[in-house]
Amino acid sequence: MNLQPEDFWSFEEWFLRPDAFLESAALKGIVLFVLAVVLGLLLGYVISAARYGSGEGFYAVARAIRDFFRFDLPGTAPRRVLALSRLAFKEAVRRKVLYVVGLFVVMLLLAGWYLNPQSDDPGRLYISFVLTATNYLVLALALFISAFSLPEDIKNRTMYTIVTKPVRATEIVLGRMIGFMAMGTVILVPMGLLSYFFVVRGLDHTHYEVEELVELPGGGYEGETDYVPSHHHSHSFTLGEDGLGTTDSVRGHRHVVLRQSDGTFEIGPPEGALRARVPDYGDMVFRDRGGNLDDQGIDVGSERLAGGYGSAGMARLIGVTGGQRKLLHGYIEGGTLGAAEYTFDQVNPERYPDNIPIDLSLRAYRSYKGDIETGIRGSITMKHPSKPIESNAIPFIVDEYEVDERMLPLNIEGTDGTETRELNVFEDLVDEEGRLTVVIRCLDRGQYLGATPSSAYLRPAENSFGWNLTKAYASIWLQMAMITAFGVMFSTFLTGPVAMVATAVVVLLGFSAEQVYDTRHYIDAGQNRGGGPIESLVRLIRQDAMTTELDVDALAGKVIKTTDAGIVYMLDALATALPNLPKMVGTAEFAASGFDIFGALLARHATATLGYVVLAFVISYFTLKSREIAA
């Protein structure tokens, strides 16, 4: 998992962006609301002016706003909202949407055919499968049920008997939204339970026997477990003198092995496949080969092409965002003073009573082939943040593409100034504020290790997998709620199919927001990366490569580029206004990679969802209110 800068933000940082308010979610929300209000007023005036003439139109708009605040909002009665949401719920049930759960069961039953059991990490595969399947099924469902209901009621004229009761437009909209969200919940809960059991049961297996057992000369045993055909693996293990030990990690898990007094072996259930690590990230700095502070590390080239513009809110839209667009791996050179330094907070005996678990996910960049068998070597050093006290280096061999879990001991040999002695981490290396610096170096000369701020973290705790999966489902729920709100909003002024397509466009544009941001960035930066839609089409037809100069005559080129810029800028503004769905879908990645979905992330998604739902609600109210139901 490669985290982006915004992933490290706490809720307040995300919402207010203390140093860069332009990038804040709050500002984005405010701008969206102001924009909606201004556009709404303008549109409302144009429509009512066309209906009643320019003077009367003004009063009509004023009346609509007054009605909203004076009558309809305060007049909204819970009983009516509830009655309408019950109706929406019943209607959804009648449309047999619960069959989706059945469809999901069928997908799970057939999953065995296409989930590769020989994968290195079946846990990840299973979790991302169930979450992705649920996510898209539920989003598609939300799209369908929300977009068709209102237009159908208007077409069937059942709406006549509703709106001629003292029912406020607020209640009609709210009732629909709540009813469908309840429906989504009713569908998500069994899906979540099924997913949990599917993953847990799917990964569970038992090794019964021990093979090729060798008694070690110094006491203890070495051996292998039996091969479990359905899970395609066996483990080898080493036991200590006490007869207790763990197997090696195969396919993302290990087992505890215990030799009983009667000489039989007991092999425990699989461990470590389903987890929720709670990482504690530190502040990171690079040092260049001379040991001087460096903010980036070495760029080995391929990284910058990866694109990515991040979500920097309004700042990005108006083109004033600073800093990196995306977190890239900075590389440290081997055999020099180059290093990546992480400073962690709250290092204390309460959080780390026995040792300090540290997880590394580093990349390696080889400038020559070297020893291909062993991989590139690095070292970890614990250091006092300000005093010249540091532990001896703990060497390791980098484990690419995996989370390399290590333990830092609490007592370690080290140097205090010039003196060499046994150091205690809490007494000697941690400063008064509870901070500890961990330095990572590369040992092989001419080879490089790549690191980002998320490449090393301490792991003070673990959460349960079940709870993590629940949070992943909560994120899906939020997406469902958002799409339901959009669907209902569009259905207040469009016919069913059109409302569905409009909602789908919102979803798709939300999903491709990053690509739109990138395209705009390349246009701004004058880079040839295929350009906007028209230019891309020309290149496609002419079979021109993306990075060549567009080969048309000067005037045509100018026209194409100008039009493209216009289109892309509009798309960019639109995509910025829309919810960042990929980010929300991305929470599944946390669960699949075995990371705890931290509260701030969920709180951010929840806040964003609430914001969009409220926006959709207000827009829906005014469009429904200004609509002739019988027309």
* Contact residues for other proteins, defined by CB under 8 A: 50-51, 67, 71-72, 75, 77, 79-80, 82-84, 86-87, 90-91, 94, 156-169, 628-631
Cβ of residue 628: shortest distance to other proteins, in angstroms? 5
Q: For the CB of residue 629, give the shortest distance to other proteins in the complex, in Å.
A: 5
Between 159 and 376, name the residue whose CB sits nearer to other proteins.
159
- State the Cα–Cα distance between residues 126 and 121, nearest whole angstrom: 9
Q: Smaller CB distance to other proteins: residue 160 or 401?
A: 160
DSSP code of residue 549 = P
**What's the order of all strands across the beta sheet hosting 244-246?**
244-246, 256-259, 265-267
- Using alpha carbons, select from 513, 370, 505, 388 the residue that is nearest to residue 444: 370
Which of 546, 513, 551, 519 shows the shortest CA–CA distance to 532? 519
Sign of the dihedral through C-alpha 418, 424, 425, 428: negative
User: Cβ 161 to other proteins, closest distance in Å?
Assistant: 6
What residue ranges in 387-445 does DSSP mark as E strands? Answer: 389-391, 394-397, 404-408, 411-416, 419-424, 436-442
Distance of closest approach, residue 48 Cβ to other proteins, in angstroms: 10
Q: CB nearer to other proteins: give 35 or 629.
A: 629
> Is 59 or 197 the residue whose CB approaches other proteins more closely?
59
417: left (phi over 0), alpha (psi -120 to 50) or beta: left
Which residue number, 91 or 589, has a Cβ lying nearer to other proteins? Answer: 91
Distances (CA, A) of 527 to 145, 307, 422: 43, 12, 56
Helix (H), strand (E) at residue 436: strand 436-442
Task: Give least dist CB 622 to other proteins, A.
Answer: 14
Are residues 594 and 274 in contact, defined by beta-carbon separation less than 8 angstroms? yes
Nearer to other proteins (CB atom), residue 153 or residue 572? 153
Chain center to CA of 532? 28
Burial class (CB in 10 A: 0-12, 13-18, 19+), 401: exposed
In this structure, the number of other CB atoms found within 10 A of the CB of residue 182 comes to 15
To the nearest whole angstrom, how small is the minimum distance from the Cβ of residue 112 to other proteins?
Answer: 38
Cβ closest to other proteins, residue 293 vs residue 630: 630
In the numeric block, which tokens belong to residue 600? 């701030």
Tell me how far apart the alpha carbons of residues 171 and 85 are, in angstroms, rounded to a whole number: 9
Nearer to other proteins, 161 or 420 (CB): 161
